[in-house]
Amino acid sequence: MSIKFKSLLLIGLSSFLLLGGCVDKSKGLAEAEAAESTYTLRLAHNQGVEHPVHISLENFGQAIEQKSNDTLEVQVYPTGQLGQERDVVELVQSGVVDFSKVSASALEGFDERYSIFSLPYVFHSKEHFYDVMDNSSAVHEIFNASANQGFIAIGWYDAGNRNIYTVDKKVERPADLNGMKIRVQESSTSINMIKAMGGSPTPMAYGEVYTSLQAEIIDGAENNITALTVNRHGEVAKAHSYTEHQYAPDILIISTKTWNNLSENQKEIVMDSVKETSENHKKLWDETEISEKKAAEEMGVKFYTIDKSEFIESVKPLHEAFKNKSDEFRNYFEDFQSYLK
């Protein structure tokens, strides 16, 4: 998106959001709470309304409303209607939007510490992933480190593991990716990952992937199971291999401006609501993986279980490069690995 278009979008959006609805930005949050009037918080994300993460975000909003006796209201803007992931992070930074749910990989361009979540095979299993996300002090530190860049992370939602799928070619080994254009998120780690595996990475926003597959601009992509069904990639991509290379979590961020305006009680309400809904979301995700696999098979997608060892080996230099960036990065990496049982 051009800078000029971005500024126009920002100006247009600010006036739209400030003029529309029942928003009273002139009233401080604490004042609004004391007067028991409604203060509206906006949450933007790029998934469709039937996506499990959208459902959990709606639950998050409802939990906040209930716990605050409706003095806080949450309006969810799904389907990328306020922009792609990079755009909505910028809207959060400027305080035009209060919350946004984006992939951890999208945050890497704003704070390099987030690159750890996209490091391929940094998580060895779902149990390891959950344990780190829920308990690691490194995660806690990373989530709070970007406060002076306009946002902090307040929680995460499971977005499953990511696998490579192509229009028609079965990928069993890194060598099969030779000459194949694979869409990745706009994250240097994901770009380097596909390069290390032997393919040609093509970074682009999520909203452009379906048409790019259809137009054969790319040969494949990598994502969780919902991309095939909710985002309909399975209509054009028929060969899915369980590379299980990343567990990139979905991260819920809040604008530092909004956060600083919340009372201690409101902060507690927000944190309790994300914790509760993130936990409930795990079950919802498990159910989704089963139902969406079935739905994708009905669309004609073939699922291949493969030997991942060559993939794991191919990306080891990325782990070394990450650790060698600084002592801080090395400590994060070691902290993640210390949760291995």
Residue ranges binding ligand GCU (CB under 6 A): 46, 85, 102-103, 159, 185, 206, 223-224, 227, 250
Between 85 and 108, name the residue whose CB sits nearer to ligand GCU: 85
Cα angle: 284, vertex 159, 127; to 5 degrees: 80
Burial track 25-38 (b if 16+ CB lie within 10 A, e otherwise): eeeebeebbeeeeb
Residue 114 in tokens: 């987030």
Cα angle: 307, vertex 230, 160; to 5 degrees: 40
Separation CA 157–CA 215 (nearest Å): 32
Burial track 61-84 (b if 16+ CB lie within 10 A, e otherwise): bebbbebbeebbbbbbbbebebbb
Between 53 and 72, name the residue whose CB sits nearer to ligand GCU: 53
Cβ 194 to ligand GCU, closest distance in Å? 13
Sheet strands side by side (includes 162-166):
200-203, 181-184, 220-223, 162-166, 239-246, 302-304
Separation CA 87–CA 335 (nearest Å): 31
- How far are the Cα atoms of 31, 41, 57, 286 from residue 69, in angstroms, in the given order? 15, 15, 18, 32
Cβ 293 to ligand GCU, closest distance in Å? 16
Cβ 250 to ligand GCU, closest distance in Å? 5
Between 46 and 189, name the residue whose CB sits nearer to ligand GCU: 46
Between 85 and 244, name the residue whose CB sits nearer to ligand GCU: 85
| 233 in Cβ contact with 184 (< 8 Å) | no
Cβ 162 to ligand GCU, closest distance in Å? 7
Helices 137-145 and 126-135, interaxial angle, to 10°?
A: 60
Cβ 102 to ligand GCU, closest distance in Å? 6
Cβ 230 to ligand GCU, closest distance in Å? 9
Between 138 and 209, name the residue whose CB sits nearer to ligand GCU: 209
- Residue least distant from ligand GCU (Cβ): 206
Residue 117 in tokens: 């979540």
Cβ 158 to ligand GCU, closest distance in Å? 10
Separation CA 249–CA 139 (nearest Å): 11
DSSP label at 146?
T
Residue 188 in tokens: 């240097």
Between 72 and 106, name the residue whose CB sits nearer to ligand GCU: 106
SS3 222: strand
Cα angle: 47, vertex 194, 210; to 5 degrees: 35
Between 266 and 278, name the residue whose CB sits nearer to ligand GCU: 278
Between 32 and 92, name the residue whose CB sits nearer to ligand GCU: 92
Cβ 227 to ligand GCU, closest distance in Å? 6
Cβ 334 to ligand GCU, closest distance in Å? 27
Between 151 and 206, name the residue whose CB sits nearer to ligand GCU: 206
Looking only at Cα atoms, what is the longest distance across the chain? Answer: 64
- Residue found by looking up tokens 């060698």 in the block: 324
